[in-house]
Amino acid sequence: MWNEKKQSPPDDRGQAVGAIIFVLGLGTLLPWNFFMTASQYFNQRLAVPNITSNGTSSAATKDYNYDSWMALLSQLPLLLFTLLNSFLYQWVRERLRVAFSLSAILLLFSLTAALVRVPMLPDTFFSVTMATIWFINTFGAVLQGSLFGMVGLFPPRYSTLFMSGQGLAGIFAAFAMLFSILSNAEERSAALGYFITPCVATLGTLLCYLMLPHLEFARFYLNRSQPDNVETTQEVLSSTDMKVLNENPKDLEVNRKFIWEPEENQERSSVLNVFKKIWLMAACVTCVFAVTLSVFPVITVRVRTVYTDSAAWDKVFTCVCCFIVFNAMDLVGRSAPSLVQWPSKESCWFPAAVLSRVVFIPLLMMCNVQNSRLSVFRHVFRHDAAFVTIMALFSFSNGYLASLCMAYAPQLVRSKDCETAGSLMTFFLVLGLALGASFSFVLGQLV
């Protein structure tokens, strides 16, 4: 039976703990978003003419496929640590994992900012950048998994705050890039200011994490080996049902901690049996993110405005119409299932809706892609408004369908198997990201 003891927690004065958890959520996804949004900066530095063996400059430039490699090397560490997290988290204490990961990310961001002013050959710069992306996302994967576990000790609404912070990380990075462009500073100075921003944000995230145990409300939850029933079981269930639709796959594990099973002695189902029940949702979430990463950002950043006469609009077009539109509409899509849930998990329309997103691949390739080999199709959706409309639908459907997948999966199993279902769904989500990043190499060559 569950613990019947009631103990009232202290007040979260000034919502300080909520604000800190929001900042922690923002900090976990900054590395991925800042390197992705800076696509133009990295591609420009890699477009320097090659130097031949006799010291002369060659007119040809090497195609480094930065966007595809960036996406792939960002997702592989996440996939790896999704598989290894159960071992790593048993060996190393949470405080050490989080503090060390944030410190390492701060150091790597500082290195990236310093390299803005350092002249380097394209091959050397590419190698250093790819190594930085690999290691910064490795530490980011450890950080994210550790913080999800910590946030799971708090009431469900704090998980929602954490996810809201993560959802705003992309918008934060996009606006940081927009402001650096609009500053009218010299290119290198603007890039330096852009990369200093995540350094400051990461330092702020570290300070917030170190401050958390000193707050009475946080200590109440962090110091307990098992959370007491602050709310009744029915209240917790209602709260969880309302929140889960906006949450990340890891939050399925988070909310499970607040649902106490009377039949503790019953065995959980095997991983294979759980997979048999949720395989369709696992396949759907893999498909959703595979489609998204196959064209975003490798294809979308190559789309150019038709208003080439306006230098100001040309400079901000990619930042506004690609990154800001995508992140804003994705956030709206993630929130929409709390208002409407269609199609239902039993409906054959649900997998059909997921598969229909494949149409966005040719649609985006037929936009005004710069130097496209598919020139016969380039003028089909040439206008800026067409690209923005397609991007809005593309990103909204990504957030909406992914959220439904993650919400429906635990409903297909017994409550005691929700943790296993959440872990499986997390793995297939990351698998979809890695598959999409791999497929982006092929699509990048086609255009």
* Averaged pLDDT for residues 358-382: 83
- Rounded percentage of the chain residues whose pLDDT exceeds 70: 83
**337 and 247 both lie in a single domain:** no
pLDDT at 433 over 70: yes
pTM, two decimal places: 0.80
**256 and 304 both lie in a single domain:** no
Q: Which residue among 260, 282, 301 closes a domain? A: 260
**229 and 277 both lie in a single domain:** no
pLDDT at 363 over 80: yes
* Averaged pLDDT for residues 17-28: 91
Decide: 341 and 245 in contact? Cβ < 8 Å. Answer: yes
pLDDT of residue 83: 73
User: Domains in the chain: how many in total?
Assistant: 2
pLDDT of residue 397: 96
Decide: 35 and 404 in contact? Cβ < 8 Å. Answer: no
Between CA 127 and CA 38 the distance in angstroms is 17
- Name residue, tokens 């936009």: 367
**305 and 165 both lie in a single domain:** no
Angstrom CA distances, 411 to 149, 275, 277, stand at: 21, 13, 10
Query: Is 436 inside any structural domain?
Result: yes
Query: Is 42 inside any structural domain?
Result: yes
Q: Which residue among 202, 231, 260 closes a domain? A: 260
* Averaged pLDDT for residues 90-111: 90
**187 and 289 both lie in a single domain:** no
382: left (phi over 0), alpha (psi -120 to 50) or beta: alpha
**306 and 254 both lie in a single domain:** no
Tokens of 117: 């002013």
Query: Is 265 inside any structural domain?
Result: no
17-31, 52-66, 73-87, 250-264 — most confident range: 17-31
Between CA 336 and CA 343 the distance in angstroms is 13
Domain of residue 344, residue span? 272-447
**289 and 252 both lie in a single domain:** no
**23 and 156 both lie in a single domain:** yes
Residue-averaged pLDDT of the chain = 82
Q: Note the residue count of the chain.
A: 447
Decide: 260 and 229 in contact? Cβ < 8 Å. Answer: yes
**65 and 92 both lie in a single domain:** yes
**199 and 298 both lie in a single domain:** no
Q: Which residue among 260, 280, 305 closes a domain? A: 260
The three-state secondary structure class of 330 is: helix
Query: Is 292 inside any structural domain?
Result: yes
Query: Is 267 inside any structural domain?
Result: no
pLDDT of residue 88: 63
Query: Is 266 inside any structural domain?
Result: no
- DSSP assignment of 179-206 equals HHHHT---HHHHHHHHHHHHHHHHHHHH
Categorize the per-residue pLDDT at 15 as very low, low, confident or very high, splitting at 50, 70 and 90: confident
Query: Is 326 inside any structural domain?
Result: yes
Q: How far is CA 140 from the centre of its chain?
A: 11
Categorize the per-residue pLDDT at 403 as very low, low, confident or very high, splitting at 50, 70 and 90: confident
Which stretch of 6-10, 192-196, 337-341 has the lowest confidence by average pLDDT? 6-10
Categorize the per-residue pLDDT at 249 as very low, low, confident or very high, splitting at 50, 70 and 90: very low
* Averaged pLDDT for residues 268-284: 90
* Averaged pLDDT for residues 209-234: 68
Residues 6+ apart with CB under 8 A from 270: none
Categorize the per-residue pLDDT at 113 as very low, low, confident or very high, splitting at 50, 70 and 90: very high
**250 and 284 both lie in a single domain:** no
Query: Is 443 inside any structural domain?
Result: yes
pLDDT of residue 101: 93
Provide the CATH number for the domain around residue 95: 1.20.1250.20
Residue 431 is which amino acid? Answer: L
Categorize the per-residue pLDDT at 378 as very low, low, confident or very high, splitting at 50, 70 and 90: low
Between CA 32 and CA 75 the distance in angstroms is 9
**119 and 19 both lie in a single domain:** yes
* Averaged pLDDT for residues 195-205: 94
- DSSP assignment of 200-223 equals HHHHHHHHHHHHGGGSHHHHHHHT
Categorize the per-residue pLDDT at 59 as very low, low, confident or very high, splitting at 50, 70 and 90: very low
pLDDT of residue 419: 67
